[in-house]
Amino acid sequence: VVRQIAFYQFERRVHAARREGELTSGQLGEMWIDVQKESLGDVFSFDDSYRAYWSYIPHFIHSPFYVYAYAFGDCLVNSLYAVYQDADAGFQDRYFELLKAGGTKHHSELLKPFGLDATDPGFWDKGLSVIEGLIDELEATS
């Protein structure tokens, strides 16, 4: 999720800067590095070759601003997993029905059988609680 949000932040900066004029590869590389540093913090260091890494991500050219879908999907799956952890025996059948639907239904319709509503802040809290539990587990091992 963090990576996808960083991609989105990069795209926003690029498009905002482009409104002011043409951008050089150096400017694009600088924006890329700035966003990565903000996203990942001081624990990572980036060499000069990483300044061009943005150009390896086809979404920026072929599907602008599409990366939100990955972050949304990650969060949705975490919320669904939270329901699974407390679910009754019928969860598996409902889950297989969701998978069978593929891309034929809106996410709101797919989530109804699980009692989930992505417009409810509690939906996102469920998913974040899964991540929080994983972080707690990791911290307990160190």
Interval 6-63: pLDDT, tens:
999 999 999 999 999 999 999 999 999 999 999 998 889 999 999 999 999 999 999 9
Helical segments of the chain, H only: 2-20, 25-40, 59-62, 68-85, 91-101, 107-111, 121-141
Q: Would the pLDDT of 85 be above 90?
A: yes
Look at residues 35, 66, 32, 64 and name the one whose alpha carbon lies nearest to residue 49.
32
CA distance 129 to 142: 20
pTM reported for the whole predicted model: 0.73
pLDDT at 68: 85
Q: Would the pLDDT of 89 be above 90?
A: no
Residue 105 DSSP one-character state: S
pLDDT at 138: 93
For residue 57, give Cα distances in angstroms to 46, 65, 135: 17, 12, 28
pLDDT at 8: 94
Average pLDDT along the chain: 94
